[in-house]
Amino acid sequence: MRKLRLNKIASATRNARLAREVVVAPDVVAREGSVIAVRALERKSVYNELEDCNGRMAAVNEGDVIAGVLGERRALRGYSGVVPERVAPGDVLHLLNLGGVIGRCTSSVVEVGPPGRVEVLGQVLSFPYIGDRRGLPASILDQALPAAEVLDVSAPVVYVSGTCMNSGKTFAACEVIRGLARRGRRVAAAKLTGVSLLRDTLKMEDVGAFRALNFNDAGAVSTRPDRILPIARGLLNALDRDRPDCVVVELGDGLLGEYGVMEILKDPALLQAGRAHVVCANDQVAAWGAWRLFVEEIGARPTVMSGPATDNDVGRRFCEERLGLPAVNARTDGERLAAVVDDALFGGGA
């Protein structure tokens, strides 16, 4: 064991509540959620920042000692990567996202370039028992909110989903939260799927949510179809105990991505809790496909279409005339988007 002073503590580690000085061991637990220390081997010119536990972004410089979390990523427009079967000091791995998820990159896209390389320094240890000098492998399962097998919520849920990454989901969710809060609604918020990053839930709080959670709070680095339902139930149960008037939920990634969006929307209890569905689409084909998925596979009807498909009259006419859906652009008419959702939840009453 040895002590290290960290230059940067990634936001994905926040459940572990690390101090700036940590103790590391050579035996690394090669498992999703395991907190490890690494040294940056280079400085990139793009996709070169790391989010800390306060949501601040800082450039990653060559030689920085960083605390991050082993995990997977399966992004269509970013890096994809896995946790190796074995991890040891001296191994070279990659920073897979801005939140400090670390793994072996298996695929990337041109826009973000190759992933930043990091050298493994060791397993970060935690010391949960006063007076006990034997450290335990730190994990973001420490202090995590519990998963749940049963959904127990009374507040109506607004689901904001999309056809792909970068389809305007977070912006739309924030405009809905802003508008509902201005109407005097007590709004909680959550991001239930995706890969660890604090940025989006911080934005939700900035625009009026009194509390916002994501799957990282439940000890997940990224979400998967086979594990998402207990996590989603647990987070919504936790928010409902705060007695919100409603909960606005962003479902990160796309409807047909690999993070579990469709599993949430197809679950009978979670679907029944959803009183409004905001769907963000990139273009007319995407809007049509999302509408078909909702009607034919999910068994629900979208409440309103938003995203780039509604940027001008061409897309809005398509959604309204061909799909029979209100089409409201969050960037230009956020107040109307919130009004449509408010009417779906509360009948427009104050």
Write the DSSP string, 285-308: HHHHHHHHIIIIII----SEEESG
**What are the tens digits of pLDDT across the range 214-246?**
999 999 999 999 999 999 999 999 999 999 999
- Alpha-carbon span 305 to 44, nearest angstrom: 37
Determine the pLDDT at residue 1: 84
The residue assigned the tokens 């090669």 is 30
3-class DSSP state for residue 350? coil
Judge if 282 and 339 occupy the same domain.
Answer: yes
Write the burial class of residue 133 (CB in 10 Å: 0-12 exposed, 13-18 middle, 19+ buried): exposed
Short-list 56, 7, 11, 286, CA closest to 165: 286
C-alpha dihedral, 300 to 324 to 174 to 96, nearest 10°: 70
Q: Does residue 142 fall inside a structural domain?
A: no
Does residue 204 lie within any of the structural domains? yes
Q: Give the pLDDT of residue 131.
A: 67
pLDDT of 165 reads 86
Confidence (pLDDT) at 349: 52
What's the pLDDT score for residue 156? 98
Task: Determine the number of helices (DSSP H) and then strands (DSSP E) in the chain.
Answer: 8, 19
When divided into structural domains, the chain yields a total of 2
Are 198 and 162 in a shared domain?
Answer: yes
Instruction: Answer whether residue 188 is part of any domain.
Output: yes
All residue ranges of the chain with pLDDT < 50 are 350
| 324 within some domain | yes
Which candidate, 222, 243, 186, 261, places its Cα nearest to that of 81? Answer: 222
pLDDT digits (tens, 9 = 90+) for 58-70: 999 999 999 999 9
Q: Directed axis angle between helix 199-206 and helix 169-182, to 10°? A: 20
Alpha-carbon gap, residue 339 to 334, rounded angstroms? 9
What pTM does this model have?
Answer: 0.94
Residue 145 lies in a domain: no
Q: Looking at the domain assignment, is residue 215 inside a domain?
A: yes
CATH label of the domain that carries residue 290: 3.40.50.300
147 falls within a domain = no
What was the pLDDT predicted at 348?
Answer: 58
Alpha-carbon span 223 to 238, nearest angstrom = 18
Check residue 128 and give its pLDDT.
Answer: 78
Please indicate, yes or no, whether residues 166 and 89 belong to a single structural domain of this protein.
no
- Name the DSSP class of 55: S
Give Cβ neighbours of residue 265 (< 8 Å, ≥ 6 apart): 159, 161, 251, 255, 271, 274, 294, 298, 300
Same domain, 237 and 132: no
